[in-house]
Amino acid sequence: MAKVVKAVRGMNDILPEEAHLWHFFEQTVHNWLALYGYSNIRTPVVEHTDLFVRSIGEVTDIVEKEMYSFVDHLNNDRLALRPEGTASCVRAAIEHNLLYGGPQRLAYSGPMFRHERPQKGRYRQFNQVGVEALGFSGPDIDAELIVMCTRLWQMLGITGLRLEIGTLGSAESRAIHRARLIKYFEQHVKHLDEDANRRLHANPLRILDSKNPEMQPVIEQAPRLIDDLDESSRIHFETLQQLLREQGVQFEINLRLVRGLDYYNRTVFEWITDKLGAQGTVCAGGRYDGLIAQIGGRPAPACGFAMGVERLMALMHECGKEIARSVPDVYIVHQGEQATSFAWKTAELLRESGCQVILHCGGGSFKSQMKKADASGARFAVIIGDDEAVMQVVTLKPLREVADQVRIDLNTLSDLIKAKN
Ligand code: ATP
Ligand code: MG
């Protein structure tokens, strides 16, 4: 036998038995986005590597270690599989002048790629749903984004999520903070690991995001950005809190919240669960007022978030959310030449009126076909033999309840099936 080719590590198949959960999730997200007036945008999975380097930041985990970046040897382009969606969304908005007509509420979904160590809740291909409000300066839109999250959790049947919010201030206050951080970490250089040492001068804020437990004490004692916060960012942050309180959204303030991407400023937030172990952040976002200008657009403020679909689905499962799998209305069994052609006609007629129909393929005895009908989960079997075909009627047999089978004509058939729906 030939050698088996397997899927790439960390990249998962979604099999038919899980597909109904994905459908429920996607349908719910679709309805939810419509409730808030967010329009769908779809961008390519592959972009110029430069887009992510310039937006996410050169000295970040994503760009340094996780991005699938490669040279297209057919023309020597440097390309990357997108590790996240914001940069692509902003690129497209600039390229197609979307902000010309005013601010835009946009949403996307699809696979993202990061070369991380695969484990529960962490994959190399994973899915995100992201929302981007471009051209809004907030804090009202910041609050809208958070409030809309709470509604989605409710629609998905998710409970027990914790919201953490923080602020990163303006570019100016970050510059002041950055200088203080460098000074502080220089004094504690012997406590820094290799990554932190390398980032000390390039991107000291990243050190605060380190997951290394041995570095936590030195991080705990580091200067806090809130002390360098500029006045308008402070007001922005306070107004956001006020708006959230008015909407009854509970939150914790986490002044150490540093996101893994460099483009954030002012508002940042994360939704976290304790039910999924180490991979507890299911949704994260914030404001990125500088990004549009940074990648060549006319300066405009913006804010958004992205959520991890696999983590949210795992959480729905933990919360006991069950989605019934959809079953066909009818399984048609048939035997005989005339019967088969009448069965085809019946199947298409039923589908025309919206019934979900499986037409038996592959022949076999009535008995073996009836077994398949039963296993399909269908609510009814429609039985057609040559007798029925001659009389232009079918036999309808309920499969999920004790009831007699009846002989009926095609006009009555679909009405009867729909009436029992
Ligand atoms: P983490 O700290 O867990 O690595 P992150 O800060 O890198 O997350 P973001 O870039 O903010 O994540 O992406 C938003 C969301 O996408 C995350 O909160 C998470 O739910 C999901 N996510 C990120 N990376 C992965 C991954 N490798 N596999 C599955 N989901 C992921
Ligand atoms: Mg990460």
> Residue 260: pLDDT above 70?
no
Q: Which atom of ligand 1 is found nearest the CA of 307?
A: 15
For the packed helices 231-246 and 140-156, what is the interaxial angle rounded to 10 degrees?
Answer: 40
CB atoms within 10 A of CB 370: 18
pLDDT value of position 302? 97
Query: CA gyration radius for the chain?
Result: 28
Ligand 1 touching residue 260 (CB < 6 A): yes
H-helix segments, 189-230? 194-202, 204-207, 216-220
Domains of the chain: 16-170+229-319 (3.30.930.10), 330-416 (3.40.50.800)
Ligand 1 touching residue 329 (CB < 6 A): no
Question: Cβ distance 181 to 207 under 8 Å?
Answer: yes
Give the pLDDT confidence of 322-354 residue by residue, as tens digits. Answer: 898 889 999 999 999 999 999 999 999 999 999
Nearest ligand, CA 114: 1
Element (H, E) at 75: none
Longest dimension (CA), the chain: 94
Query: Which strand ranges, in their side-by-side order, compose the sheet holding 104-113?
Result: 39-40, 104-113, 125-134, 302-308, 281-287, 265-272, 162-167, 252-253
pLDDT value of position 13? 97
Ligand 1 touching residue 308 (CB < 6 A): yes
If you measure from the C-alpha of residue 333 to the centroid of ligand 2, how many angstroms do you get, rounded to a whole number?
52
- Per DSSP, the three-state class of 273 is coil
> Residue 420: pLDDT above 80?
no
Ligand 1 touching residue 114 (CB < 6 A): yes
Nearest ligand, CA 128: 1
In 3D space, the residue among 325, 269, 319 whose CA is nearest the CA of residue 17 turns out to be: 325
In 3D space, the residue among 371, 366, 372, 332 whose CA is nearest the CA of residue 349 turns out to be: 332
Measure CA 271 to chain center: 14
Exposure string over 275-307, b if 16+ CB within 10 A, otherwise e: ebeebbbbbbbbbbbbbbebbebeebbbbbbbb
Nearest CA to ligand 1 atom 5: 260
Exposure string over 175-210, b if 16+ CB within 10 A, otherwise e: ebbbebbeeebeeeeeebeebbeebbeebbbbbbbb
pLDDT value of position 268? 95
Q: Is there a binding annotation on residue 266? A: no
pLDDT value of position 325? 87
| Structural tokens at position 411 | 């006009």
> Residue 421: pLDDT above 70?
no
Ligand 1 touching residue 282 (CB < 6 A): yes
Give the pLDDT confidence of 114-130 residue by residue, as tens digits. Answer: 999 999 999 999 999 99
Q: How much is the average pLDDT of 203-223?
A: 88
If you measure from the C-alpha of residue 310 to the centroid of ligand 1, how many angstroms do you get, rounded to a whole number?
10
Listed range (31-35, 203-207, 232-236) with the worst mean pLDDT: 203-207
Give the pLDDT confidence of 141-161 residue by residue, as tens digits. Answer: 999 999 999 999 999 999 999
Ligand 1 touching residue 126 (CB < 6 A): yes
Q: Is there a binding annotation on residue 151? A: no
pLDDT value of position 94? 97
If you measure from the C-alpha of residue 115 to the centroid of ligand 2, how many angstroms do you get, rounded to a whole number?
10
pLDDT value of position 59? 81
Ligand 1 touching residue 269 (CB < 6 A): no
Q: Which atom of ligand 1 is found nearest the CA of 282?
A: 20
The chain-wide mean pLDDT, for the chain, equals 94
> Residue 374: pLDDT above 90?
yes
Q: Which atom of ligand 1 is found nearest the CA of 311?
A: 20
Give the pLDDT confidence of 350-373 residue by residue, as tens digits. Answer: 999 999 999 999 999 999 999 999
Q: Is there a binding annotation on residue 187? A: no
What is 135-188 written as a DSSP string? T---SHHHHHHHHHHHHHHHHHT----EEEEEE---HHHHHHHHHHHHHHHHHT
